[in-house]
Amino acid sequence: MTGFPLLDASMRQLKTMGWMNFRMRAMCATFLTINCGISWHHGARHYMNYLVDGDLAIDNWQWQMQSGVTNPLSDTFRIYNPNKNIPKKDPDLKFIYYWISELKGYSLPEIIQGKYIGTSSYPPTILDWAKTRKVNGKIISDLRKKVKERLTLQGGTEYESAVAAQETVNKYWQHKDREYKEFKELEAELE
């Protein structure tokens, strides 16, 4: 009951079905850890209590990644905006209507603008997403910079592990970019 429909729908799905798609898992994780400032350990434990496809190593790593703990040599990390994701991931509101019946009858703009507040039993947001993103995001960013500086100055096996992790992530994205370009080329040929 966060007041963010896509988050709440995802968590209701998890509790009922034991499953949630990757994007929603990541969005819920960044909300809990970065916006709410709660340790990733609590979210990881909760997911493992409900996920039918739960894998301890993958679950914990994903929670660490979404909370900004992993890949300290990278200058960036994601913070998903749950309202911005509604038009992208649920533009017809089927997912939200299915899991949050309190919002049936409200349009996409009405839901994003919070027009339901005071006229439905669905609650207002529990926090100011933009403010917590700015304040808590800066805290995470500053911590990541300090870790990066320490690793770079000290070197050693911890630094080598961080470099190896960053190279793995970079190779993954290079592979994904190559796949995407090949797909677009094939798509263009078929037109």
User: What pLDDT is recorded for position 166?
Assistant: 87
Specify whether 50 is located in the same domain as 103: yes
User: What pLDDT is recorded for position 160?
Assistant: 93
pTM assigned to the model: 0.86
CA distances from 40 to 44, 65, 144 (A): 6, 9, 16
User: What pLDDT is recorded for position 169?
Assistant: 82
Q: Please give the tally of structural domains in the chain.
A: 2
Which residues does the chain have with pLDDT short of 70? none
d(CA 177, CA 185): 12
d(CA 15, CA 12): 5
End position of a domain, from candidates 112, 132, 167 = 112
User: What pLDDT is recorded for position 170?
Assistant: 86
Specify whether 94 is located in the same domain as 163: no
Q: Which domain holds residue 44?
A: 5-112
